[in-house]
Amino acid sequence: MGSSAITVSLPETYEPEDWHLYARCLNVGDTELFFKPSKERNAKRLCKECPVVEACLTAALREEDGYAYRYGVRGGLNPIERRNLERRRFLERRRG
Ligand code: SF4
Residue 89: its H or E element = helix 79-95
Q: Ligand 1 centroid vs 33 CA: distance in angstroms?
A: 11
Output 41 or 9, whichever has higher pLDDT: 41
pLDDT at 81 > cutoff 70: yes
* Closest-lying ligand 1 atom to the alpha carbon of residue 19: 3
Tell me the domain boundaries of the chain.
16-95
pLDDT tens for residues 18-58? Answer: 999 999 999 899 989 999 999 999 999 999 999 999 999 99
Beta bridge partners of 77: 74
Enter the pTM of the model: 0.85
Contact (CB, 8 A) for 19 and 55: yes
* Closest-lying ligand 1 atom to the alpha carbon of residue 24: 5
74: helix, strand or coil: strand
pLDDT at 6 > cutoff 70: no
